[in-house]
Amino acid sequence: MTPYVLREDSSFQNTMEFISIVAGLCLLTSLGLGRGGIFVQGGSTVALCWAADDKFRAGCSAQAAVFFMQLQQRYEISVAEIEHIPGVANPSDPLSRGVKPEELGYPSIACYDLRDNPTLVAVIASFDPTVVLSLREGLPARWRQNEAWIDILQSAGGGWDH
């Protein structure tokens, strides 16, 4: 669930898949994990390639891409491997359709409600693909804001309320 108003516009599908990759990386870093290569699986080959190759077009994914690159740099994280899993074979695909993780057999200890971390809520909200980041005018301020959020994610507790 995200705060974006996309009106079921499928043109945002690759960006939303990429945002989920960035959100996952944010979760890992808020838990104190980092430094090294990560393995990323997903249903969008485009989003997987964006993550693996660090090549993005300016547009609806720019805000998430800038944060992703800053997070990778600060935490010394690289995408070591990607795997495309088509929707029909992807056991996590129902999550994007509102199915709860527990219904898919994920243990509750492995599930995090990102709403319990106000910093992650703010970060993910800032990736709104309907708002295009102006790389010329908006990037410096965006960069500073991202750095402040990353500092919180790196701090003791990682921004979690509990």
In a domain, 49, yes or no: yes
**Per-residue confidence in pLDDT tens, the chain, 162 aa:** 788 988 878 888 899 999 999 999 999 999 988 788 999 999 899 999 999 998 877 788 999 999 999 999 998 899 999 999 987 788 888 887 888 888 989 898 888 888 899 999 999 999 999 988 887 888 899 999 999 999 999 898 999 976
Domain that residue 136 falls in: 11-154
How much is the pLDDT for 162? Answer: 60
CB neighbour class for 111 (10 Å; exposed up to 12, middle 13-18, buried from 19): exposed
Q: Chain centroid to CA 123: how far?
A: 9
In a domain, 6, yes or no: no
How much is the pLDDT for 92? Answer: 80
Q: Which residues pair with 42 in a beta bridge?
A: 84
In a domain, 162, yes or no: no
Q: Chain centroid to CA 121: how far?
A: 11
In a domain, 161, yes or no: no
Our count of domains for the chain comes to 1
Q: Chain centroid to CA 110: how far?
A: 17
Q: pTM higher than 0.85 for the full model? A: yes
In a domain, 159, yes or no: no
